Amino acid sequence: MSRILGQSGDFHDTHNAEDLCHSLYSVPNLTEVVETIYANTITLLIEMSLVTIDLSVRLGPLQGVIILVTIAAYIEVSRQDALFLKKVHNQLKKTIQKESDATGRILNGWPTILGFNQAKVEGLLHSVAVQARVIARNISIRSSDSSALKTRLVCIPGLAASVLAVLYQIARGKATPGEFAVILALWSTLSSQIQRVTALLEPLSVQDSEGAQPLQLKGGRIEFRDVSFSYGDKAVLKNFSLVIEPRSTVSFVGRTGGGKSTILALLQRLYNVTEGQILIDNQDIQQVTIESLRATSVVPQSPPLLHGTISENIRYGQPNASKEDIQRAAEAAAIHDRIIELPEGGILTSRKKLSSGQIQRIQLARTFIHTAPIVLFDEPTSSVDANTEHQIQKALNKYTNGKTVIIVAHRLSTIANADKICLIEDGQVAESGTFDELIMRKGKFAKLWKR
């Protein structure tokens, strides 16, 4: 499970939670041996010994050896391929970003391009970028197909050796056709189950760099320096640059899909940037430990609830918080009344007992009780009514005083008092300033506010 928690957003975007859960708990027999390779060496050796003994007793020692050698070969081939495919995928992302940059350069700079008669040059540069992306995509497709074929072929020699060994024993009268059927069934199960567990053995795409040091927070100054990022084929951020001064509140607004939530995800290193740098107090976040970087308070769009009481959920991340601290945070987030209403101290066995607004308020209370100097809010009041929003807004002003705060919001009333408001469009800052400044400009933000 620690392996799954260590994975990046890329991993969780491409793996269904139910499938991962099934891989963990529904994979019997030899799959458990594979899983323990990364989990516990002693347990691995014990289980491998038991499997080898069992196969040796029933079908001869050769069968146990063949099975274990095949598993080891499969995992090693999968590991090597995963490392190679990661490099291929990163190269593809870079070519996609460069093609997007070349396209944007033409679309945004066409008057200058035509004015200086550089259309042919820019067209050639764009064609080169497109061709590089096509080549990288073809390499990625071929590499993925080759990897899939290679891992399937790994099992064939083991299966052939196992079948020949049983047939030889049958010919000598030392095995029965029933045991031959057992071997075929075992290999059918083995090949499918190993593939399932291999997902858990993927190399971490986001991990501490060599020599990474803990983040040394001073004031909480955040700088995005020419940051570009792509989700698969889609470029989300393009040379995004922004400075957030220490102990200030900055709000991101804009249409859905503009890149606002992505900025928060990159700041937490749930993903690595494709290009550029993100710095906190002049420290590149890719050069600090992930554990120290993520010591922030975060309110995501769809806040998770953990099994247990509401109080335990609020205390999460600050286990030493007192009952008084929890009560104050719950009252500030307007969720204290719900704790009293629920039986047995507000024990939660599912989200169904609470509305989406109540779940969001629990997450806010969790943030209020946390002492992190940097706080990230992603739609913190999207699921509450106007009266509750006003109450929560007052609490936000109190609990975030002296902290660096980033708020992503669609409700413009949530961000009116921010030190800086940034309108994010197509992965870039289209407008920025205080609320009054943006309204006086009568630009895109002012039109958005009138709606």
- Interhelix angle 119-171/41-59, nearest 10 degrees: 40
Nearest residue to 287 (alpha-carbon basis) of 207, 219, 217: 207
Question: In sequence order, which residues have a C-beta less than 8 Å from that of residue 280 and are 6 or more positions away?
Answer: 215, 217, 220, 221, 222, 223, 288, 293, 374
d(CA 50, CA 67) in angstroms, rounded, equals 13
Domains 2-201 and 222-450 share a fold: no
2-201 has which CATH code?
A: 1.20.1560.10
Kindly state the tokens that stand for 131: 């061709």
For the stretch 36-84, pLDDT in tens is 444 443 454 455 556 556 666 777 778 778 877 877 887 788 778 777 8
Left (φ > 0), alpha (ψ -120 to 50) or beta: where does 380 sit?
alpha
Helices (H), 26-118: 30-39, 41-59, 61-115
Residue ranges of domains in the chain: 2-201, 222-450
- Note down pLDDT in tens along the chain; length 451 residues: 444 445 555 554 555 554 445 444 333 333 443 344 444 434 544 555 565 566 667 777 787 788 778 778 877 887 787 778 778 877 887 888 788 778 777 877 777 777 767 788 888 888 888 888 889 888 888 887 787 777 777 778 888 888 888 888 888 877 777 777 777 776 666 665 555 555 545 555 567 778 889 999 888 999 999 999 887 667 889 889 999 999 999 999 988 888 898 999 899 888 888 889 999 999 999 999 988 888 788 877 766 676 677 788 888 778 888 888 888 888 888 787 766 666 554 544 444 567 777 787 888 888 888 878 899 988 877 767 777 777 777 778 888 888 999 999 877 777 888 999 999 988 889 999 999 999 999 899 888 887 7
- Interhelix angle 356-369/386-399, nearest 10 degrees: 10
Q: 410 to each of 59, 298, 378, 385, 415, how far by Cα in Å?
A: 66, 17, 10, 14, 9
Domain 222-450 in this protein, CATH class: alpha beta
Nearest residue to 76 (alpha-carbon basis) of 22, 46, 125, 34: 34
For the stretch 435-450, pLDDT in tens is 999 999 989 988 888 7
d(CA 191, CA 201) in angstroms, rounded, equals 16
